[in-house]
Amino acid sequence: MDTGHFYFLRNQYFIDFPDPYLMQNKEKVNGQTHNRPCFYAFEDVSSKGLFWLVPFSSQTNKFQSIYNTKIAKYHICDTIVFGDVLGSRKAFLIQNMCPVISKYINNEYIDSSANIPVRISGSLEKDIITKAKRVLALQRQGKKLIFPDVLKIESALKESLKQE
Asked if residue 25 has pLDDT above 50, the reply is yes
Mean pLDDT of 64-74: 97
Alpha carbon distance 97, 56 (integer Å): 10
3-state secondary structure (DSSP) of residue 91: strand
DSSP 94: G
Q: Where are the domains of the chain?
A: 6-163
Express the helix, strand and coil content of the chain in percent, nearest 5 each. Answer: 35, 25, 35
Q: What is the CATH number of domain 6-163?
A: 3.10.129.130
Give residue-wise pLDDT tens across range 91-144.
999 999 999 999 999 999 999 999 999 999 999 999 999 999 999 999 999 999
Return the percentage of the chain with pLDDT > 90, whole number. Answer: 87
Q: Indicate the pLDDT class of residue 36, thresholds 50, 70 and 90.
A: low
For the chain, the distance separating the N- and C-terminal CA atoms, rounded to the nearest angstrom, is 17
Asked if residue 31 has pLDDT above 90, the reply is no
Give residue-wise pLDDT tens across range 43-59.
999 889 999 999 999 99
Count of other CB atoms within 10 angstroms of residue 121: 11
DSSP 146: S
Supply the angle between the helices 122-140 and 150-163 in degrees, to the nearest 10: 100
E strands present in the chain: 6-9, 28-29, 32-33, 39-43, 51-57, 80-85, 88-93, 98-100, 105-108, 110-111, 116-117
**pLDDT in the model for residue 27:** 55
